[in-house]
Structure formats: structure tokens, C-alpha cells
Amino acid sequence: MPLTIIEINRAKTDGAALKLPDKDGLYLRVTKTTKGWRFDFRFDNRRYTISYGLYPSVSPAKARELHQEARRQLAEGINPAFRKRLEKLARGASFGNSFEATARNWYEGKQEQRSHAWREAHDLYLRRDLNPYIGDMPLSQVDARALLNVLEKIRIDRGVKIAERVRQTAVQVFDHAIRKLRIQANPARVLQGWADIPPQVSHEPLREDEIHEFVERLDADTGSAATKLCILLMLLTFVRKNEIAHARWTEFDHENAVWVIPAERMKMREPHVVPLSRQALAALEQLKPLSFASDYLFPSLSSIYKPMNLATPNVVFERMGYGGRFTPHGIRATASTWLNNRGVRADVIERQLAHVERNRVRAAYNRADYMSERIAMMQMWADFVLPDHATTGGTLSVPLPQYVEQ
């Protein structure tokens, strides 16, 4: 007689597992913690056991239905244990048909063997640039035209080099889909050469004797005062270009002389604190009326509700005569070189540059912020770049107000 619900619910054991027969070889295996439906059988003179799931997730009726299907397969000369194993493998290989699901399957299969930088970059390009636009689209519908529209938007928002890196991430996702027999062609490969990618520009630092010349050329430039102050603040804080160009006033604490850059604008997706020197605070004071009550320090020329275009500082660098040999990113190397030559500890410099420790063991234990040393370091650098006498108007054509210590 088949087991009843009452018999199943009452079944208990304090020791060895129990086997309660149900019907046609189906039985309920009862342990201290589980009750599972099973079937033992022989196939090609070997003994097999197949499990249909745990009660009550699998009801008696469902277990009997699965059991009858297994018996039918046996009658046809098919091993139901093999069939179930193949179905499980097929389910494991079935990761969905959307771009986002395919990308996640590709990324998770690679991340353990890849570097932290690789994981951070591709995770960012997928999460920020690709999934919001094509993530829920079936792979077969993401053609070259759809992907090109995404790349063009990224080119406008973040620059052509970032857009090309996003395309290369998409190439790998679609190649993965081809290997999994989901699609036959890679639309991201079709778009190779979709834009003229500028050659890699050197980020070589300025020599120490060239730093003051750079400030003098910045002073002499005929561009807008706001853009010149953007470059000056970049020099004083040696942050990345997007971190200063898209900065908001709410990120600055003038009373405590710090700037907290939110995680979403940082390369490593962690908030970053920048101590502000006297010169940086003075520059911010001068900048305030030039931002036209915008939330951004450097609003776009077209709208105060949008930040400055990231290409704007590069235009000034070109006009100043540094095209092809010194870029906004080179400021970071310039400051790092100068500080290292002054004997500042490497850990302090690297922490201020927001670089990630590549040694995983060291990174796990080294959580120090070195804030007191960083404050002194930033003031030492600012005093070299823009000595106090320069803040009275001798260096910038738009004079910076003098900051007086209380």
C-alpha cells in the first residue's frame, strides 16, 4: 500500500536511516533531518539509486509521477540515473538567453583566474556601460547597430578610448556565447575599427624644473578661469581627471579641509578622501562664483545641470604646448615622482593616489589611511607648486585670495 501523509509525517528515526516502502520500488528514506524519495534499481548488472527530491518539497503524488517516468525509461532500456544526470548538466549549462545572463556566466567562469584589475574593469564595463542598455535583450537581437548605438553614447559621455574598451569586453561575452552555441556571429567583432582611436599618449611626468613653467603657462593661457582652476586643482590634489571635472560642491568639507570623492567616481569603486591644502581651499573659494550656483564645480557650458566635458582640460594642455608629451593623467606621476624624491613614504603616496595594493596578503592587513602624513604631504606639495606668495596674485592672472591661518 502506498504511504499516507499521516505515515510520512509520523516517520522518525534517532539512529540509522529508515526505508519506508511506497509503491513499485519507490521508498521514502528517513534520517534525523530529512525525508527523501528514492528508487534502487539494477542496470547492466550494476546497482543504481535515483533520488526524486525531499519531502515535503516533493509531494507523494509528484514523487510517484517521477517514479513512473523512471520505470518507463527502464522498460525502454534507458538508465534513468544517466538521463537525470544529463538533464542536470543541461540545466547547469543553461544560464539564460539574455546578454546580461551570458555576460555573468562568462565573468564568473573567468574571475578566479584573473587579476583584481581585470575583475574591476570588466565588472564596471558590464554593470555601468552595457547591461543598462542591452542587458535584458536576447543575444540574437543584439546586432551591430544596437551595440554601435551604445558605444556612441559611451564615446560622448566617457571618451572614445573607454568606449573601445567596452567593445572589447563585449567581444569576449559574444565569443563566449558562440562557444556555448547560443549565437553564430559576434556583432562586437564586426565593429572593429568603428572609431578612430587616438594613439596611446605618454603619461611621463614633468621634471621638477618644469613644474613651475607649467604653472606659468597655465597662468598665461587665454582660456576660461574655471577651466584653469580645474587644472590647478588637479595639480594640487593629483586626482584623476573625471574625479575633479565631475566633482560636486557637496563633496567638500571646507571646515575640516577634506574632499570625499564618492565610490562611483573612483576607479576602484571605493570612497576616497583628499586632504585640502591652503592653496586648494583658496582655489575653491575663487571658483565658487564661477560655477553659477551649479551643483557641479565645473558645469558644462551648455547647462549648469551637467558637468564639464572630460575633453576640455586636454584642449588647454594642447593650447599650452604640451600636446603629445604631457597629459592631465601625467600630473599624478609628476606629483608621485616629486614626493618620492623628497623621501615621503611610498605607502602614504600610494594611498593618496588611491592605488590598490597588488599584494593580496599585504592588502588584507594594511588598512591604514596615514591621514596625518597625507595632510602634511599635500601641504608640502602645494607649497612647492604654488608658494603662498603666489596666492596673492603673482602666478595666476585670476588672483587667488590669500589664506590666513587662524
Q: What does the pLDDT look like over 250-281, one tens digit per residue?
A: 999 999 999 999 988 887 678 899 999 999 99
- Residue spans of the domains in the chain: they are 5-93, 99-190, 208-392
Q: What's the whole-model pTM score?
A: 0.50
Q: Is 119 a catalytic residue?
A: no
Q: Which residues contact 255 (CB under 8 A, 6 or more apart)?
A: none
Q: What would the CATH number be for the domain defined by 99-190?
A: 1.10.150.130
Marked catalytic residue, from 176, 240, 241, 351? 240
Question: What would the mean pLDDT of 180-194 be, rounded to a whole number?
Answer: 92
CA–CA distance, 113 with 29 (Å, rounded to integer)? 41
Residue of 10, 360, 365, 367 with catalytic role = 365
Asked if domains 99-190 and 208-392 share a fold, the reply is no
* Mean pLDDT computed over 146-160: 92
| Per-residue exposure over 239-257, b if at least 16 CB sit within 10 Å of its own CB, e if not | bbbbbbbbbeeebbeeeeb
Q: Active-site residue among 48, 62, 329, 370?
A: 329
Catalytic residue among 23, 155, 182, 267: 267
- pLDDT interval class at 296 (50, 70, 90): very high
- Active-site annotation holds for 212: no
* From 355, 358, 362, 389, active-site residue: 355
- Fold exhibited by the domain 5-93: Double Stranded RNA Binding Domain (3.30.160)
Please tell me which residue in 228, 241, 332, 374 is annotated as part of the active site.
Answer: 332
pLDDT tier at 397, thresholds 50, 70, 90: very low
pLDDT at 365 over 60: no
CATH of domain 208-392: 1.10.443.10
**pLDDT classification of 304: cutoffs 50, 70, 90:** very high
Interatomic CA distance for residues 256 and 336, integer angstroms: 24
**Among 5-9, 159-163, 323-327, where is mean pLDDT lowest?**
323-327
23 is catalytic: no
Q: Specify whether 355 is catalytic.
A: yes
Does 240 participate in catalysis according to the annotation?
Answer: yes
Provide the 10 A C-beta neighbour count for residue 174: 25
Written as one letter, the residue type at 136 is D
Confidence of residue 401 (pLDDT cuts 50, 70, 90): very low
56 burial via Cβ count (<10 Å: 0-12, 13-18, 19+): exposed
In a 3-state reduction of DSSP, which class is residue 386? Answer: coil
* Residue 33 CB burial class (10 angstroms; 0-12, 13-18, ≥19): exposed
